[in-house]
Structure 1
Amino acid sequence: MKDEKTTHFGYQDVPVGEKAGRVRQVFDSVANKYDLMNDLMSLGIHRLWKRQTIELSGVRKGHRVLDLAAGTGDLSARFSGLVGDDGLVVFSDINAAMLQVGRERMEDQGRVGNLHYVQADAQYLPFPDNHFDCVTIGFGLRNVTDKQLALNTIFHSVKPGGRLLVLEFSKPTHRALEKVYDLYSFTLLPKIGKLITDDEESYRYLAESIRMHPDQETLKGMMEHAGFERCDYFNLTGGVVAIHRGYKL
């Protein structure tokens, strides 16, 4: 019998068909404490990373924006204000629990007119070709089963002249920082997860998923392979996080 194809779930090899369900379980578990954990894990610096992403997006009034892996909506909220009443922000996440938490948060903030909510897998987007001025995926690409397929699919959904921005954990550029980061990720982070969410294993997976994600140059090459041009990246916090940008010309 032919062996079933596998992929990585953190440091584990699992059947390709199982990964999405396992990732879903992780985010079902952490959805209600997601914002608190983001602040604790990054000491609040994630807000600066997202602000830089917004500045690189080029989004303005009237634009259509797709925010993939939108989580609880930090990027979507900012885009909603930028595109105005004539624009559109599609708030999308593969996880129903995260989508619900994000929608409630946006409604609590009074952001209702130009936000649409779609549960979607980045690998199989239900949107027309050449539809969005900007697509973002923040801290979500590393959880996608087939990252290249997702990038290919995103390329089709971007308008000519539009751009993709990938905000994601990456590879520290200094060896000393990498050692400190590893110690934090595999020792302290799971214990914070246990204390706040009573779920140590989900945060151990998150740390492992970061290490398995392509480094800066590899991800840049994957974006170019998908068809994006003028691809570049910006290392933040010593490369702990990077913003990749590519254009559809």
Structure 2
Amino acid sequence: MTDTVSFGYQQVAPHEKTARVGGVFSSVASRYDLMNDAMSGGLHRLWKDRFVRLVKPRAGEAILDMAGGTGDIAFRLARSGAQVTVADINPDMLAVGMDRAARRGIEGLIWSEQNAETLGFADKSFDAYTIAFGIRNVTDIPAALREAHRVLRRGGRFFCLEFSTTLWPGFADVYDAYSHRIVPKLGKLLAHDEDSYRYLIESIRRFPDMPAFEAMIAEAGFVGTRVEPVLGGLVAIHSGWKI
């Protein structure tokens, strides 16, 4: 860890980033899924479907869905019969997820308040670890990746869905203008919080590109790493194995 880390375009002390990210997600928790639909035109649902298909959850498996908050990934994983633990550092996000599960009649999920950098699970506890649109908000990303590796069993698989940097000429400029000018305004209109959505867009810009993040996954001990870009890399699905 360096003396400072990025909080959007700002450099802040690590403990300050953790607290400020917590504030962001507490602020947007109740409108988080509505905003996902507005920002992506509903495409986030297709991305998550694809993500879970690649994970290939199976009945009887133990899966940790980190930063799982509102339950979007966990609900999909649980359809397979896997035992899914939904973990999130933010209790407000977990509360939204538990309420959604109750309203949908989804039972059997385990809900756990956890810091991705210091998980409270024993070594070799899970068959798969998933994290969707959460890793870029972690203060110490290498520490979180090492923890993911630690809690996985031999043969366990790591999957991460995250925004990245699209390589499509032209589209990158259009998306950059849209995200910086429109998304914060949508945040103000729909979630009554322009600043939080400005941070979320800035955090995407500061996140490592696909090759750099794949290298970080390998450095944490994973093998067979690969990345599947979506929309030229606007979104990327990263994976790796523990042997």
TM-score over 0.5 for the alignment? yes
Give the letter for the 2:211 counterpart.
E
Does residue 229 in structure 1 map to residue 236 in structure 2?
Answer: no
Partner of 2:65: 67
TM normalised by structure 2 equals: 0.98
The Cα shift of 1:198 comes to 1.3
- Choose which of 73, 76, 79 in structure 1 pairs with 2:77: 79
| 1:127, distance to aligned residue in structure 2 (A) | 0.6
Unaligned runs of 5+ in 1: none
- Residue matched to 1:195: 189
SS in 2 for 1:231: strand
**Equivalent residue for 2:16?**
18
TM-score by length of 1: 0.95
Q: Secondary structure at the match of 1:175?
A: coil
Question: What residue in structure 1 maps to residue 6 of structure 2?
Answer: 8
Please report how far the alpha carbon of residue 38 of structure 1 lies from its aligned counterpart in structure 2 after TM superposition.
0.5
Tell me the equivalent position of 2:125.
131
Q: CA deviation at 1:5?
A: 1.4
State the alpha-carbon separation in 1 of the partners of residues 3 and 212 from structure 2. 22
Structure 1: distance between partners of 2:66 and 2:195: 24
Amino acid at match of 1:101: V
Per-residue CA shift, 1:147-201, capped at 9, x if unaligned?
A: 0010011100111111000100001012311111110110000000011111111
Partner of 1:94: 89
Give the alignment partner of residue 165 of structure 1, picking from 159, 162, 167: 159
User: What is the distance in 2 between the residues matched to 1:177 and 1:125?
Assistant: 38
Amino acid at match of 1:106: A
Which residue matches 1:45? 43
Q: Which amino acid aligns with 2:210?
A: Q
Determine which of 148, 159, 168 is the counterpart of 1:154: 148
Quote how far apart the aligned CAs of 1:225 are. 0.4
Give the percent of matched residue pairs that are identical in Structure 1 and Structure 2.
46
Q: Distance in 1 between matches of 2:167 and 2:242?
A: 28
The AA in structure 1 aligned to 2:59 is K
CA distance in 2, matches of 1:173, 1:51: 23
- Let me know the Cα RMSD of the aligned residues: 1.0
Q: In structure 1, how many angstroms separate the alpha carbons of the residues matched to 2:231 and 2:169? A: 13
Partner of 2:30: 32
- Of 208, 216, 219, the residue aligned with 1:214 is 208
Q: Tell me the distance in 1 between the aligned counterparts of 2:169 and 2:137.
A: 25
Kindly provide the CA deviation profile for residues 183-225 of structure 1, in whole angstroms up to 9, marking residues without a partner as x. 0110000000011111111000000000001110001000000
- AA at the equivalent of 1:178: A
Give the Cα–Cα distance (whole angstroms) in 2 for the partners of residues 63 and 126 of structure 1: 19
Q: Which amino acid aligns with 1:186?
A: H
Q: Separation in 1 of the partners of 2:165 and 2:38?
A: 20
Which position in structure 2 is the counterpart of 1:54? 52
